[in-house]
Amino acid sequence: MIRPGGTVRELLNQIPGQNATVHGWVKTRRDSKGIHFLHISDGSCFSDLQVVVEEGIVPEEQMRSITTGSSVRVDGELVESPAAGQKVEMKAHSIHLYGTADPVSYPLQKKGHTMEFLREIAHLRPRSNTFGSVFRVRNALAHAIHTFFQNEGFLYVHTPILTASDCEGAGAMFGVTTLDLMNLPREKQSGKIDYSSDFFAKPAFLTVSGQLEAEIFAMAFTNVYTFGPTFRAENSNTPRHLAEFWMIEPEIAFADLKDDMELAERFLKFVINEVMNRCEDDIAFFDKRIDNTVLSTLNNVVSSDFEHVTYTEAVNILEKSDKDWEFPVKWGSDLQSEHERYLTEDVFKKPVIVTDYPKEIKAFYMRANDDGKTVRAMDVLAPRIGEIIGGSQREERLDVLKTRLAEQGLEESAYWWYLDLRRFGTVPHAGFGLGFERLMLYLTGMKNIRDVIPFPRTPGSADF
């Protein structure tokens, strides 16, 4: 314990009849017949601690300043609560006021603020009910992810955030430079920017994925995972895309696509289960107030065996449906969100793993199938969200990998170390990438990805 008294979470589980101290922020205040009722929150759990201040206990002068948003310490006695839904409340003996919050200008007064408004006050929104729940779930989810992999003996590897190679081409990259933008050095002949005097002596970027480096570590530690920030300078203003987001990327050696799919299913079930247990009140809140399908879909994922279907089978199903698609379905083009949701929500009514995509729409490192047309890729589709995980078995054969690089117009020299892994002790291996915030959307039922990360970065917006 870092300060005396205990958290609201701890106090709510105490037996009545003892003195205690609570520190927190006043969420609401109600006055009735000279008695004041304060709801105190310290973020430790969904519930507030009700503090009852009886007449004459605290000078009225001081009581006037204890309004919504102010910060207090209350010393008092825990007593049995007559209110429904809570065991104990606190009968105040004295209150120390740390900081006031002017009721006229404190922006978090009323209930029912829009998400857009709350985004503009990202420095205060963590104190609201919704964002309290969001960030407790986010914390529990991050912990569950580490717990899962650590329990299974995976090594956590920190892949670089600054990178000088656009190895994957997974998305548009943010450039990083210390060159003087007003006075860029130019190569004499070509007039191109001369990066030799830049910090890394070549163009550098923020990473879009840690996968290729994770593969290096899988070729030494067998089972590894990354969990870190990734950046994409895609100018897509959607409720599903951020410029800065967190990605989980396991990589497993001596493993094929089947092992990869089993891992993905086991992983999703474990972390969802963990969060449902640890954040029961928060998830119940989301189900009640944000999206009434949250609990049923989460239970559905935890309890059902994921469906498996090849891309080709999926395209057949989609072509036979009488849906009016915004994007036409054709073998060879990527599945769009509407197709993915139809498969998982209408056809199979549970999570679906689609495998063996056409090689033209997937990355060069995915293992080629013998049909010469498809690769050992897998996407996990979940109801309400569509794609939540993208993964593949990796091409471990040197000659095939070189052919694939050439087919996609990529320079072998840029991938020298990646090719070396196939020269020296290559093994079948596989992995996947999961967007942390996409999983957050799933767990919370929140509609916009900007509302499940503390400080969203999107085109035109990097406040706080």
Helix H segments across 54-185? 60-63, 115-120, 129-151
Contacts of 265 (CB under 8 A, 6+ apart): 305, 306, 351, 353, 380
Smallest gap, in angstroms, from Cβ of residue 24 to ligand ATP? Answer: 33
Query: Which span (84-92, 236-244, 257-265, 317-325) binds ligand ATP, by CB under 6 A?
Result: 236-244
Smallest gap, in angstroms, from Cβ of residue 438 to ligand ATP? Answer: 4
Smallest gap, in angstroms, from Cβ of residue 334 to ligand ATP? Answer: 8
Smallest gap, in angstroms, from Cβ of residue 441 to ligand ATP? Answer: 9
Return d(Cα 246, Cα 457) in angstroms, integer: 12
Q: Which of 215, 260, 437, 451 binds ligand ATP (CB under 6 A)?
A: 437
Q: Binding residues for ligand ATP, how many (CB under 6 A)?
A: 19
Nearest to 215 by CA among 395, 407, 436: 395
Closer residue to ligand ATP in complex, CB, 140/208? 208
Return d(Cα 263, Cα 40) in angstroms, integer: 42
Return d(Cα 9, Cα 45) in angstroms, integer: 6
From residue 246 to residue 275, the character string flagging contacts with ligand ATP as x (rule: CB under 6 A) and all else as - is: -x----------------------------
Element containing residue 400 per DSSP (H, E): helix 398-407
φ, ψ of residue 361 to 5 degrees: the values are: -100, 10
48 alpha-carbon distance from chain centroid: 26
Q: Which of 387, 395, 396, 451 binds ligand ATP (CB under 6 A)?
A: 387
Smallest gap, in angstroms, from Cβ of residue 295 to ligand ATP? Answer: 22
Nearest to 194 by CA among 185, 202, 203, 183: 185
Q: Which residue is nearest to ligand ATP (CB)?
A: 435
Smallest gap, in angstroms, from Cβ of residue 212 to ligand ATP? Answer: 13
Residue by residue, what is the 3-state secondary structure of 19-43? EEEEEEEEEEEEEECCEEEEEEECC
φ, ψ of residue 289 to 5 degrees: the values are: -110, -20
Smallest gap, in angstroms, from Cβ of residue 207 to ligand ATP? Answer: 12
Closer residue to ligand ATP in complex, CB, 119/232? 232
Residues in 42-61 at the binding interface with ligand ATP, rule: CB under 6 A: none
Q: Which of 49, 92, 242, 290 binds ligand ATP (CB under 6 A)?
A: 242
Q: Is 66 strand, coil or helix?
A: coil
Q: Which of 167, 170, 173, 252 binds ligand ATP (CB under 6 A)?
A: 170
Q: What is the dihedral of CA 86, 88, 94, 98, to 10 degrees?
A: -40
Closer residue to ligand ATP in complex, CB, 137/247? 247
Smallest gap, in angstroms, from Cβ of residue 54 to ligand ATP? Answer: 51
Query: Which span (89-97, 101-109, 286-294, 388-396) binds ligand ATP, by CB under 6 A?
Result: 388-396
Does 173 sit near ligand ATP (CB under 6 A)? no
Q: Which of 23, 29, 232, 367 binds ligand ATP (CB under 6 A)?
A: 232
Question: What are residue 38's DSSP bridge partners?
Answer: 29, 51
Closer residue to ligand ATP in complex, CB, 92/208? 208
Q: Which amino acid is at 98?
A: Y
Q: Is 171 strand, coil or helix?
A: coil
Does 456 sit near ligand ATP (CB under 6 A)? no
Closer residue to ligand ATP in complex, CB, 12/264? 264
Contacts of 219 (CB under 8 A, 6+ apart): 253, 421, 425, 426, 427, 429
Closer residue to ligand ATP in complex, CB, 77/338? 338
Closer residue to ligand ATP in complex, CB, 155/172? 172
Buried (b) or exposed (e) across 265-298, using 16+ Cβ within 10 A? bebbbbbbbbbbebbeebbebbbeebbeebbebb
Does 214 sit near ligand ATP (CB under 6 A)? no
Residue 9 has what DSSP assignment?
H
Q: Which of 39, 125, 241, 362 binds ligand ATP (CB under 6 A)?
A: 241
Does 5 sit near ligand ATP (CB under 6 A)? no
Smallest gap, in angstroms, from Cβ of residue 167 to ligand ATP? Answer: 13
Smallest gap, in angstroms, from Cβ of residue 437 to ligand ATP? Answer: 5
Residue by residue, what is the 3-state secondary structure of 179-226? CCCCCCCECCCCCCECHHHCCCCCCEEECCCCHHHHHHHHHHHCEEEE
Closer residue to ligand ATP in complex, CB, 46/270? 270
Q: How many CA atoms lie within 13 A of 434 on its CB side?
A: 30
From residue 406 to residue 435, the character string flagging contacts with ligand ATP as x (rule: CB under 6 A) and all else as - is: ---------------------------xxx
* Binding site residues, ligand ATP, CB under 6 A: 170-171, 232, 234, 240-242, 245, 247, 387-390, 433-435, 437-438, 449
